[in-house]
Amino acid sequence: MTARIIVGVSGGVDSSVAALLLREAGEPIAGLFMQNWADDGSGDCRAEDDRRDAVAVCGRLGIPIHFRDFSTEYWQGVFEHFLAEYAAGRTPNPDVLCNREIKFRHFLDAAHALGAERIATGHYARIDRSRGAWRLLRARDAGKDQSYFLHQLGQAQLAATRFPLGDLPKREVRARAEAAGLPTAAKKDSTGICFIGERDFRAFLGRYLPARPGEIRTPDGRAVGTHPGVFFFTLGQREGLQLGGVRGFAAAPWYVVGKDVPGNVLVVDQDRDSPWLMSRTTWTEAAHWIAGAPPAARFEALAQTRYRQAAEPCSVRIGDDGALEVRFARPQRAVTPGQSLVLYDGEVCLGGAVIARTDAPAGRAVAGDTL
């Protein structure tokens, strides 16, 4: 029987249980393992281990498995953009682009080519249909909700997608995997860059972007150290600065509060909630709307400017070019260009956009300027 649903099996527990639930529901399914990162010689790629686990899971479930290599598509559609953003001093979110370009484009195309009607993944999110339109909803498990990373999906993609884990807490997912004897039941959740995994980020990025050391300065222009390259750091970051015991300053942590990319200067402050990090208004690039259009030219919503952040009330104004001006009800810390601003109406994800700039001093400062 031709599989009606192709499950993206990654070799992790979430996709394993997604396949398990669909098989238990009597759906004709098959698995598909995506190879999306070519071996770069670092020895850190765990794709072969994940592939073996995916094969073992499908064997345990008694379902066929297919394999596709999307490494070229990943490089051209995700990774080149990732590098360009870092080189420009921004902090991109590759998981958002990875979902749009790989998991819900090339994977979906591959599933259709195999004769399937839909795909399924182990994402923690939900889909429903209301008033003739498909909606992306938050997962029941708020701590695992991944709708933030899925906000670039559209109507055609949602219509062809299943998220079997959307109503389950993570602890139940692991319990079901263990009860079914799945070999991934106790496997650690993957973290790090989408499809690249966990590794020393600075060393990894340094393989592709040549390091250019420069000065670390305070907002008033005082030099307090040196950095290996401004693109290694993001706003609000505390780790990796190696600024212990600076003469004339308190023995307190330092935080990145600005990046002067042309001048190759990193700006730091010792106040976690430095005014250089705080903003009320954010401007974005052109937005994507899951419904195909925004709810209005101006509206109230909830917004997240990073994953796992509590959603904050805001007012949204849409420009003629589709870009957003978002004003928050209270100041926001470390809203970072390159990251995604995602909008919600309650539990419904409306869509989102890439952050371009904010009204924080960090968003417009050149090192040496003063507040």
One of 45, 58, 98, 349 is an active-site residue; which one?
98
One-letter amino acid for residue 132 of the chain:
G
Structure-block tokens of residue 183 = 């070999």
Range of weakest confidence among 124-133, 136-145, 206-215, 216-225: 206-215
pLDDT at residue 69 greater than cutoff 90: yes
Q: Cα(105)–Cα(92) distance, rounded to whole angstroms?
A: 20
Q: Which of 45, 58, 194, 349 is catalytic?
A: 194
Domain count, the chain: 3
My answer on whether 81 and 226 are in the same domain is no
CATH number, residue 231: 2.30.30.280
**143 neighbors 170 (Cβ within 8 angstroms):** yes
314 part of the active site: no
Digit-coded pLDDT (tens) for 85-120:
988 889 999 899 999 999 999 999 999 999 999 999
The overall average pLDDT reported for the chain is 91
The C-alpha torsion from 231 through 233 and 235 to 241, rounded to 10°, is -140
Q: What is the CATH number of the domain that holds 338?
A: 2.40.30.10
Are residue 164 and residue 93 in the same domain, yes or no?
yes
Same domain, 69 and 133: yes
Confidence grade of residue 196 (pLDDT, cut at 50, 70, 90): low
**Domain span holding position 65:** 5-179
Asked about 194 being catalytic, the answer comes back as yes
Q: What is the largest CA-CA distance in the chain?
A: 74
Angle between helices 170-179 and 13-24 (to 10 degrees): 70
- Six-digit token string for 112: 């259709």
Same domain, 303 and 231: no
Lowest mean pLDDT among 82-91, 127-136, 204-213, 269-278: 204-213
The single-letter DSSP state of residue 38 is: -
Q: What is the pLDDT of residue 89?
A: 87
Sole residue written with tokens 């050149």:
366
Q: In this predicted structure, which of 77-81, 165-169, 188-192, 236-240 has the lowest mean pLDDT?
A: 188-192
pLDDT tens, residue by residue, 26-65: 999 999 999 988 765 555 557 788 999 999 999 999 999 9
| pTM of the predicted protein model | 0.92
User: Any idea what the CATH number is for the domain that residue 22 is in?
Assistant: 3.40.50.620
Residue 350 belongs to some domain of the structure: yes
245 and 291, same domain (yes or no): no
Out of 269, 289, 318, pick the residue that ends a domain.
Answer: 269
**Are residues 234 and 346 both part of a single domain?**
no
DSSP 298-335: EEEEEEESSTTPPPEEEEEEE-TTSEEEEEEEEEEE--
Closest to 369 in 3D by CA, of 221, 215, 256:
221
